[in-house]
């Protein structure tokens, strides 16, 4: 196990993955400094713990740091990164620092193109409520722990594993969960084969006494299990041949439930306070992990029944005059389909989908798939692309998605590039019974917040 120096500097400390790691290091007694383009509630929270955070990037920020942590988002010309290399200060990727933390405990790493934040949250909460005192690192904010990280002295560290830049391959977990494998992040992987190979390597990283928990509803994983040499368990909401499966599914408003079976033996009834088959699937993975570490189904199900969701995962922003406004991080076609289907199960009038595309490269690669992802929505509003730091690509705009949607749905799609335009439009068209669902990995959630405030004013 590699030692972690006492004084560490994070370039881009406000990011979801970076801030969680910084939180744990502060709890362990390390001196942490960091910088970001601007300060935020996240950096304020770290400063309250004892971190020193700087707005903007200048060489002097690294101070006497003994180690620099960066993410893939940090460009090579960043002045702090340049200064660190000129001084000979070691620089490591965020994934390597997570790996060093994970080596202190038994790692439970959750990966997948989507569903990993919710599944990580559910696993972490289940261990926490069963007094196992895990360390938890999530790519989002979990209501139940008041943030994206929790320090724990128990034997387990539960972490979301980021496949977007291949950094999950730096981890050495004891248990892995893979929810699905999609053709995403093609700017990094370049081909479907390389994505599959990376996940296969990740799954194969577990020790002989470890466990892989794999979703059999995913076609790539279904093919992959035929060739795996490690110990694994499968789960499914549709395939009764999986080790863990769920039957007799029922939906009641924004709640979900079903009977859980392990190898055709009934374990009991699972009830969730969040909607959708995709969340029942995530919960099945938790049942598999919990069972492996020795928890009874009853103890697992008791915690999952209290799970209130992660922030920006089907989060109810507000309800005014029977108009519900919900926000979700969904930014991939498969996620959007699942989120809209979950919304449709609630007893609602019209389903109004507001989508902000995320990244030019994803829009270029997946615009046709986006065109068939909104069939459940009664009204579709498309916002302009949130770049996430990417440079524009010639010929790529949100209009590609609008055109694909109009071709698929055969009706007019509303394109409103500015968030203020979205809010103004919604204020004038919503009516009692509507569910407005904002989706995207950028700042589209602010439209939902503003809409609720405007509706209250009216």
pLDDT tens-place string over residues 392-422: 999 999 999 999 999 989 999 999 999 999 9
Would residue 116 show up in a list of annotated catalytic residues for this protein? yes
In the set 31, 116, 150, 233, the catalytic residue is 116
Model confidence over 187-242: pLDDT tens digits? Answer: 666 787 888 888 999 998 899 999 999 999 999 999 998 888 889 999 999 989 99
Place 143 in a pLDDT band, splitting at 50, 70 and 90.
low
Please indicate whether residue 335 is annotated as part of the active site.
no
Helical ranges in 378-444 per DSSP H: 399-409, 419-429
Q: Of 31, 43, 80, 117, which is the active-site residue?
A: 117
399-409 helix and 360-371 helix, angle to the nearest 10 degrees: 10
User: Is the predicted pLDDT of residue 43 greater than 80, yes or no?
Assistant: yes
Task: Report the distance separating Cα 49 and Cα 139, nearest Å.
Answer: 19
Return the C-alpha torsion angle 216, 219, 222, 226, nearest 10. 180
**Annotated catalytic, 44?**
no
Task: Classify the phi-psi angles of 284: left when phi > 0, otherwise alpha if psi is within -120 to 50, otherwise beta.
Answer: alpha
Q: Do the beta carbons of residue 417 and residue 383 sit within 8 Å?
A: yes
Catalytic residue among 160, 163, 182, 271: 160
pLDDT digits (tens, 9 = 90+) for 339-379: 898 788 776 789 999 999 999 998 998 999 999 999 999 99
């Amino acid at each position: 196990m590699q030692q972690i120096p006492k004084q560490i500097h994070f370039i881009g400390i406000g990011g979801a993955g970076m801030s969680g790691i910084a939180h744990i290091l502060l709890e362990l007694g390390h001196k942490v400094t960091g910088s970001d383009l601007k300060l935020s509630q996240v950096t304020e929270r770290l400063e309250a713990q004892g971190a020193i955070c700087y707005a903007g990037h200048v060489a002097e920020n690294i101070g006497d740091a003994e180690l620099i942590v960066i993410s893939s988002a940090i460009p090579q010309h960043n002045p702090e990164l340049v200064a660190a290399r000129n001084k000979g200060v070691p620089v490591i990727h965020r994934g390597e620092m997570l790996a060093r933390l994970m080596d202190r405990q038994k790692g439970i790493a959750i990966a997948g193109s989507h569903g990993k934040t919710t599944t990580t949250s559910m696993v972490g909460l289940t261990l926490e409520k069963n007094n196992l005192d895990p360390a938890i690192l999530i790519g989002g904010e979990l209501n139940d722990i008041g943030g994206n990280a929790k320090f724990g002295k128990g034997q387990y560290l539960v972490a979301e594993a980021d496949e977007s830049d291949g950094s999950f391959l730096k981890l050495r977990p004891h248990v892995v969960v893979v929810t699905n494998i999609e053709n995403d992040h093609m700017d990094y992987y370049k081909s479907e084969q390389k994505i599959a190979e990376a996940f296969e390597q990740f799954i194969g990283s577990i020790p002989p006494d470890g466990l892989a928990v794999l979703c059999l509803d995913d076609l790539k994983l279904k093919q992959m299990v035929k060739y795996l040499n490690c110990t694994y368990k499968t789960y499914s909401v549709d395939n009764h041949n999986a080790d863990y499966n769920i039957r007799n599914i029922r939906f009641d408003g924004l709640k979900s439930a079903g009977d859980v079976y392990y190898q055709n033996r009934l374990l009991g009834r699972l009830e969730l306070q969040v909607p959708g088959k995709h969340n029942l699937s995530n919960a099945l993975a938790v049942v598999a992990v919990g069972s492996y570490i020795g928890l009874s189904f009853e103890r697992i199900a008791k915690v999952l029944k209290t799970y209130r969701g992660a922030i920006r995962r089907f989060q109810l922003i507000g309800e005014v005059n029977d108009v519900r406004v919900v926000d979700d991080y969904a930014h991939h076609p498969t996620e959007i389909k699942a989120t809209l289907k979950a919304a449709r199960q609630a007893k609602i009038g019209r389903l109004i989908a507001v989508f902000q595309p995320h990244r030019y490269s994803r829009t270029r690669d997946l615009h046709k798939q986006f065109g068939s992802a909104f069939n459940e929505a009664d009204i579709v509003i498309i916002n302009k692309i949130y770049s996430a730091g990417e440079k524009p690509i010639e010929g790529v705009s949100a209009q590609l998605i609008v055109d694909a949607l109009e071709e698929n749905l055969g009706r007019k799609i509303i394109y409103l590039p500015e968030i203020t335009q979205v809010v103004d439009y919604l204020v004038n068209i919503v009516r009692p019974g509507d569910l407005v669902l904002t989706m995207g990995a950028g700042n589209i959630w602010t439209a939902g917040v503003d809409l609720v405030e405007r509706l209250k004013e009216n």
